[in-house]
Amino acid sequence: MDLENIIPIIVAFVTAFLLPFFLSKRKKEGHKKFEEFRRHLLGIGVRFAEVDKESEQAKLGKNVSKAQKVEGVFALEERNIDFIIVASVASQYEVNYFIEYMVKSTFHLREESLKKTRMIKKKGSLFRTKVVDVIWKGDQYLAQKLNLDYELKHRLLQADLNKFKGSILIIPERKHGYTRIKTNFSLPSPDMFYAIDSVAKYLKSGI
């Protein structure tokens, strides 16, 4: 049997057997991540209500890309963060999970569009292993406000950023009037959650 005949058989096998297995595994893992995050929010005293995955809030998570799937949504009470999306993105080789802290923002009303802004971790000179400072880069106006908030900086450094994978990315959604505060999937410590909610306060007030 030549190669041209074997390839269609392999593709058919993958489609019929491996793809359903992969999708089932992703569904179970996604539910596990959602439940893990839900229990953690309760553990750190965050009040919330679960939101249906067909809701308008969930649709904001699906609008990012076709590859992104919403695993669950939490609507928060008495916080600057309006709701939280637990999301997954599947690639050819793996599934990555993210947390999106969504904020109803007024930045979309200003003439100049809000630019993406990112937290940069700075490590000490000795072996460059410990995070000793954080700075924000991106939107000049917003980054300046965040960099001058020393309580925010203190909270972030207290949150043990050495164990915090990735960064904090602020992504404007001008069309929908929301701003995303996006991180890799992680269970935020009380200090980290407070810090993210503080960032959300700037986005909500537009100052």
Of residues 206 and 207, which shows the higher confidence score? 206
Model pLDDT, residue 139: 93
Cβ–Cβ under 8 Å, residues 189 and 179? no
pTM over 0.95: no
- Which pLDDT score is estimated for 21? 47
Antiparallel, parallel or unpaired: β 68-76 and 95-104: unpaired
Lookup result for tokens 């200090």: 191
Question: pLDDT tens digits, residue range 131-159?
Answer: 889 999 999 999 999 999 999 999 999 98
Give per-residue pLDDT as tens, 86-108. 999 887 778 899 999 999 887 76
Q: What is the DSSP annotation of 87-105?
A: EEEE-SS-EEEEEEEEEE-
- Tens digits of residue pLDDT in 24-75: 555 678 889 999 999 999 999 999 999 887 777 777 776 676 778 889 999 9
Residue 82 phi/psi, 5° resolution? -80, -45
